[in-house]
């Protein structure tokens, strides 16, 4: 059973806000929430159907921000301790959500990997200092009014997940913002047969493994047969390898979600196809799809995910804002299709 976060965070924040004018001013001043966000969250809290829908999302509606992780030592008076304690409870919920659900922090709660590791591993005192001196704050990850909040539709839920993660992509692509691209590719010193074995275990088809590693295709097939004798589940996912533009045309929403995840996780994805990040991104993509009830037969295979990542590197597929609705969409450069958001 997955641990949920959105309803509890909304209720926690609203309780804090309604406890007094002073706390209301504090959260508006220190947290990255606008008054329109608070109005939306307040109305959402009274609509149980919509609240259930956002709570079922496998990602948080909030992103965690911080100014610095180098905070030194300091002491808090009683009033500060109370305020910082309230905030720290919120941030611990983010860490707990990501850890228990075994999802990437940058996808689950919008907290970059360095900040997550430092905060989660810190002592109570060090966490208190991080929140007070490091300036940890929370803000919404996307325009909340664009969410469909329809629990009865897996497609609508997947669209909401994509909307949230695209909001993070917009944020992390801004100049001067760090926290994107935490997964580096296989090191050049790593033996190619070891790399090939790992990729085969992740169900990439031998042809693509040979293409990435430079090994002889027949040798990779022999490696797969050897693995199959020991690990039957290594069998590649069924379905042939498709041209990336066909995958995009047949599954535009899934392709956009996968590429968004890959773009958030992969180090330098526009320079080289990052095979290690392909594996990680596909695993996260599958977990998010499962969480909203998407059938395995409707998901993109690991091999076709690799093809999409490779097409992003070559520039054949781009993540660009629609000229009409301004939402980010995955487009095939040679023959752009219609925007999945506004059909333009």
DSSP symbols for 133-161 = HS--EEEESS-GGG----TT-HHHHHHHH
Same domain, 124 and 219: no
pLDDT in tens, 158-186: 999 999 999 999 999 888 887 888 899 99
Same domain, 126 and 212: no
Q: What is the pTM of this model?
A: 0.91
- Cα dihedral across residues 216, 222, 224, 227: positive or negative: negative
Helix (H) or strand (E) holding 237: none
30 within a domain of the structure (yes/no):
no
Same domain, 321 and 203: yes
Residue 305 has pLDDT above 90, yes or no: yes
| pLDDT number for residue 30 | 60
Same domain, 39 and 126: yes
> Which residue among 136, 152, 168 closes a domain?
152
pLDDT in tens, 271-300: 999 999 999 999 999 999 999 999 999 999
Domain total in the chain: 2
| pLDDT number for residue 125 | 87
Residue 260 has pLDDT above 80, yes or no: yes
| pLDDT number for residue 234 | 47
Provide the domain limits for residue 261.
190-330
% the chain with pLDDT above 90: 62
> Which residue among 105, 124, 152 closes a domain?
152
Two structure tokens written together for 177: 């913002």
269 within a domain of the structure (yes/no):
yes
CA separation for the pair 217, 212 (Å, rounded):
11
Same domain, 93 and 211: no
> Which residue among 101, 124, 152 closes a domain?
152
- Cα dihedral across residues 29, 33, 37, 41: positive or negative: negative
Which alpha helices (H) appear in the chain, and where do they start and end? 6-18, 21-30, 35-45, 48-55, 78-100, 105-108, 113-121, 124-133, 154-172, 192-201, 206-213, 217-230, 244-250, 252-265, 275-291, 302-314
Provide the CA 123 distance to its chain's centre, in angstroms: 27
pLDDT in tens, 100-145: 999 999 999 999 989 999 999 999 889 988 988 888 888 899 999 9
Strands 137-140 vs 328-332: parallel, antiparallel or unpaired: unpaired
306 within a domain of the structure (yes/no):
yes
Burial 311-324 (b: 16+ CB within 10 A, else e): bbbeebbbbeebee
């Amino acid at each position: 059973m997955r641990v949920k976060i959105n309803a509890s965070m909304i209720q926690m924040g609203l309780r804090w806000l309604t406890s007094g004018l002073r706390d209301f001013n504090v959260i508006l001043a220190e947290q990255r929430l606008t008054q329109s966000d608070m109005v939306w969250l307040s109305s959402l809290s009274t609509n149980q159907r919509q609240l259930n829908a956002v709570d079922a999302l496998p990602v948080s509606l909030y992103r965690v921000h911080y100014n610095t992780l180098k905070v030194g030592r300091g002491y808090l008076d009683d009033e500060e301790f109370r305020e910082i304690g309230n905030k720290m409870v919120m941030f611990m919920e983010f860490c707990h959500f990501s850890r228990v659900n075994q999802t990437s922090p940058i996808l689950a709660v919008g907290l970059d990997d360095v900040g997550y590791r430092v905060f989660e591993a810190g002592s109570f005192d060090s966490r208190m200092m991080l929140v007070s001196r490091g300036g940890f704050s929370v803000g919404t990850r996307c325009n909340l009014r664009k969410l469909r909040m329809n629990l009865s539709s897996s497609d609508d839920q997947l669209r909401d997940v994509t909307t949230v993660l695209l909001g993070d992509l917009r944020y992390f692509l801004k100049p001067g913002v760090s926290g994107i691209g935490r997964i580096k590719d296989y090191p050049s010193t790593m033996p190619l047969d070891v790399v090939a074995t790992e990729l085969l275990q992740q169900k990439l088809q031998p042809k693509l493994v040979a293409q990435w590693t430079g090994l002889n295709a027949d040798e990779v097939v022999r490696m797969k047969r050897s693995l199959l004798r020991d690990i039957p589940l290594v069998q590649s996912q069924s379905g042939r390898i498709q041209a990336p533009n066909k995958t995009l045309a047949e599954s535009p929403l899934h392709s956009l979600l996968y590429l968004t995840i890959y773009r958030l996780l992969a180090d330098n994805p526009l320079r080289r196809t990052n095979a290690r990040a392909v594996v990680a991104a596909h695993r996260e993509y599958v977990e998010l799809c499962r969480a909203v009830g998407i059938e395995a037969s409707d998901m993109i295979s690991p091999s076709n995910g690799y093809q999409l990542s490779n097409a992003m590197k070559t520039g054949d597929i781009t993540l660009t804002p629609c000229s009409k609705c301004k939402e980010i969409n995955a487009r095939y450069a040679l023959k752009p299709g219609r925007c999945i958001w506004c059909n333009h």
